[in-house]
A and B are shown apart, each in its own frame.
Chain A
Amino acid sequence: MSLRVYAIAYLVFLYAPILLLPLFAFNDSTIIAFPLKGFTFGWFVELWETQALHDAVKNSLTIAVLTAVFSTLLGICAARASAKYQFPFKGAIMGLIMVPLVLPEIIVGVSLLVVVVQILDWNLSMWTVVFAHVLICTPFSIAILNGAFQNMDTSLEEAAQDLGETPLSTFRLVTLPLVAPGIISSLLISFTISLDEFIIAFFLTGSEPTMPVYIWGLLRFPQKLPAVMALGTILVVLSIVLLVVAEYFRRRGLARAGLKDKGGFL
């Protein structure tokens, strides 16, 4: 019984603040406080008319798509190597690849800034953000894809070769279709992580702010706050949609491989 109370309290603490977003996004007042004034779409209209925001969203989407593609490609290589081959220091190497999962982002951000500006002497741009996001998203991709590759019976690949396929066509005809759900999950997760990542983007972004950096900038102007709430509402809805899609593909992958569901994100 007490556990049930705890669970409900936990969920309330977790989701109540998020529920406030749409509440104030439709509230006809610049002050974020109760009582509510009236219903309006005004803040969404304002979003629609702010060019700087559109640029920030476009930057973020571009960075997120590139990050998703690159980190998933790297994840495929690493997960396949770890599932298929034995090599010296495998445990240590896989462990080190996973470290960015637990490293504080502020440390990653500062050290990358030093490397990029002082050592590599690059200009800060969208590409430096992509570079950094790939670094932090790859461990997630590897973790997701490791599952997909390890769930696959290696004799399936052997069977394809035995039936006349080269290693390359085996990968295309058997391996890829079977790990495709994992690839889609990996793309979606790294896309989501990159999209709302703030600290690293804040350090490494040049003159093209990402959406979270832009929102942070808006906070200095209280009259813009309800617009941020509106933006937040859109993001919450998008995140939920993405997560549901990712989970759908994960389950479909399990069903295809004829495996039992052992729990996932949802």
Chain B
Amino acid sequence: MTKPIIELSGVEKYYGDYHALRDISLNIAEGEFFSLLGPSGCGKTTLLRAIAGFEDVSAGGLHLGGADMAGVPPNKRPTNMVFQSYAIFPHLNVAENVAFGLRKRGLSAAERDAKVVEALEMVGLGGYGARAAHALSGGQRQRVALARALVLQPKVLLLDEPLSALDKKMREQMQGELRRLQRQVGITFILVTHDQEEALIMSDRIAVMFEGRIAQVAAPQELYRRPKTRQVADFIGVMNFLPAQARVVGDATEVEIAGLGAATLQPDQCPGGPVSGAAQVGIRPELLTLLYDAPAPGMSVAEGEVVEQSYYGDMTYYDVALPGVPEPLTLSMKNTVGRPVLDRGAKAQVAWDARALVLLSD
């Protein structure tokens, strides 16, 4: 990892009796696209606001670019924020909004105007300078907020659920644009979101938070494939859980999974550390396969019955009940040519690779 731009150590935040942030320690690298992901009320926005300087931390250290931020007000911090409501000043036009933060930079009017024009062009709003703030659409307001923050070239750009107010199509478009913009300017972005898909698509790394605590910090692939706890696994995508008995044998772990039989797991399949005794085995829907032909070599097979089917067009999700497995397993299949969509009640063979399993403590 390159030099950290943000260092948090043992950060705590109380609101009266309410413990909003618990022992947050985190380093975020320069130029990283970092996401804080979690359900509402998990403390992710509080953490972002603490970095911006809108909340004092009750304990712990917060360093930005090597400088201690204790007692430094927001206007003296090298961060800029894109607010959830965008906070576009309604009494100023687009160009005046973008120029707002440049007021104290000691620039000539010509330099300032050039920067504003450049920033607006960067976010795709070239020529919108004279537009009144209330005549903008949601997506345009978002872009103005981005331009207003980026024109100051902060060390860190903080984004508080910036896409939650946009409709689905607009949101997907802006996800791509934000990512492109971040690569272009090379500034550290910290994104707060409750949308796991958004976090996976956009981030270099993600911190998953529950109840004021960081549960796991990892790159998207690792987070999805190797969640450390059941809570993380549940929050990111869909995962089937099966009760199992685990036994550590040398480096590997032998598991006896209810209804699926025995399997041997490698150390990287126990992301939360070695587990023995009662445990949970997790497997993602897309890593389970319905057998239409013979199984691929090395795959295990079980026979069951389709109890529920949801057709998504490109994919079909099935819930398949297997004998000895307490809950039906959810699995997804791509709808390719010649592959029939099974109806409820159909007999189905489910196959999986033991390498797809993840062992989590109970």
Interface residues of A (CB under 8 A from B): 153, 155-156, 158-166, 173-174, 177-178, 255-258
Contact = CB atoms under 8 A, between A and B. Distances in A.
A161 B75 contact: yes
A189 B334 CA distance: 69
A159 B75 contact: no
A156 to B, nearest CB: 5
A164 B103 contact: yes
Given A166-B75, A178-B91, A160 B84 contact: no
16 contacts: A155-B85, A158-B74, A158-B81, A160-B100, A161-B73, A161-B75, A162-B52, A163-B80, A164-B103, A164-B104, A165-B104, A166-B75, A255-B134, A256-B90, A257-B134, A258-B133
B101 interface: yes
Secondary structure at the B interface, as helix, strand, loop or mixed, is: mixed
A58 B25 CA distance: 68
A146 to B, nearest CB: 19
Given A160-B100, A162-B52, A163-B152, A256 B91 contact: yes
A178 B90 CA distance: 8
Interface in B51-103: 52, 54, 73-75, 79-81, 83-85, 87, 89-91, 100-101, 103
Contact of A158 (B83, B91, B134, B148): B83
Interface of B: 52, 54, 73-75, 79-81, 83-85, 87, 89-91, 100-101, 103-104, 133-134, 148-149, 152
Given A162-B75, A164-B104, 8 more contacts: A156-B90, A162-B149, A164-B101, A164-B103, A166-B75, A256-B90, A256-B91, A258-B90
Contacts of B149: 162-163
Q: Is the interface of A mostly helix, strand, loop or mixed?
A: helix
B184 to A, nearest CB: 21
Contact of B100 (A158, A163, A258): A163
A159 B90 contact: no
A255 B91 CA distance: 10
B89 A164 contact: no
Query: Which of A155, A159, A258 is the most central at the interface, judged by chain B CB atoms within 10 Å of its CB?
Result: A159
Contacts of A258: 90, 133-134
A257 B101 contact: no
B84 A155 contact: yes
B87 A158 contact: yes
Contacts of A160: 89, 100
Contacts of B91: 177-178, 256
B89 A174 contact: yes
B81 A156 contact: no
B100 to A, nearest CB: 5
B89 A159 contact: yes
Contacts of B54: 158, 162
Given A163-B148, A165-B75, A258-B134, A156 B101 contact: no
Contacts of A165: 75, 103-104
Contacts of B104: 164-165
Contacts of B52: 162
A162 B84 contact: no
Contact of A164 (B75, B83, B133): B75
A155 B87 contact: yes
Contact of A155 (B73, B83, B152): B83
Contacts of A255: 134
Contacts of B134: 255-258
Nearest to A174: B89
Contact of A156 (B79, B80, B84, B87): B87
Nearest to B101: A163
The 5 tightest CB contacts between A and B, nearest first, are A163-B101, A159-B87, A258-B134, A155-B87, A155-B83
B153 to A, nearest CB: 12
A192 to B, nearest CB: 27
A255 B103 CA distance: 26
Contacts of B74: 158, 161-162
B245 to A, nearest CB: 52
